Amino acid sequence: MNAKSNEFEENVKAWVRLDTSIREMNSRGKTLRENRAELEGKITEFVESNQLETTTIRINDGGQSGTIGFHESKTTQPVTMKLVKSCLDDLISDPECVEAIMDHIKESRSQKTNLNIKRTFE
């Protein structure tokens, strides 16, 4: 085997090790986020039922002090093709015109092609 083949083989091995580490960390992170979300639900339910929305709680976590407050946030639905079509249907009475606009939007989207590594498991 030549030097380039050895380097390629070592790069693949290193990539697989890193991919495995990332998968393990993502799995652990997912579990932590799920646990945090469950506790957040319980905490916010208590805060709302006891009208404590304006309360600030001082915390100290291993030498890092700070506060926890409660804030409302709003999220906006993402713009999807289904939403665009629905909105066009609301505004334009001609279904053929709506379809022509939708086709134009779909065809006008730019595409970029990348070569990636995809790992499969047996």
Inter-residue contact 70 to 52 (CB < 8 Å): yes
**pLDDT for the residue numbered 1:** 66
Question: Dihedrals φ, ψ of 77, to 5°?
Answer: -60, 140
Would residue 119 be called left, alpha or beta, if left means φ above 0 and alpha means ψ between -120 and 50 degrees? Answer: beta
Low-confidence spans in the chain with pLDDT less than 50: none
Which candidate, 55, 109, 57, places its Cα nearest to that of 80? Answer: 109
**pLDDT for the residue numbered 67:** 94
Which candidate, 89, 91, 90, 109, places its Cα nearest to that of 99? Answer: 89
Cα separation, 92 vs 76, whole angstroms = 24
The amino acid that residue 77 corresponds to is Q
Which candidate, 71, 67, 64, places its Cα nearest to that of 56? Answer: 67
